[in-house]
Amino acid sequence: MPGEGDLPLEARLNTETGRIRWAELERHFARGVVVRVSSGLDLVTVAAAFVRDDEAAVMAWMTDRRVWRASSDDARDWHARDAELWAVVAAPWVLVQDIANERNA
């Protein structure tokens, strides 16, 4: 019988993507593992690159500031808005998109 292990990586990650409120994300931010993904990128595609350790793709996105580690300013904004974000885990990272308030600052 086919199981979850039979799913392609992107399909598995897609099933693991969901909404998360700031209060649930805050502890991950405190550990320094929250990574923002620009709304112009597909969250699952980026997560798959992290899981596959595709350094070239990840570094290109980081250089273009389309993927970056969440900052204290991000945390303050999310706290003030009690933001709800799209998230997926690409251990040890938690990748998030804030589509409601995209700031490529």
pLDDT tens per residue across span 3-20: 556 889 999 999 999 999
Q: What is the pTM (predicted TM-score) of this model?
A: 0.87
Give which of 103, 100, 95, 104 is closest to 44, Cα–Cα. 95
Look at residue 81 and tell me whether its pLDDT is greater than 50.
yes
Contact present, 13 and 88 (Cβ < 8 Å): yes
Q: In the chain, what are the domain boundaries?
A: 7-99
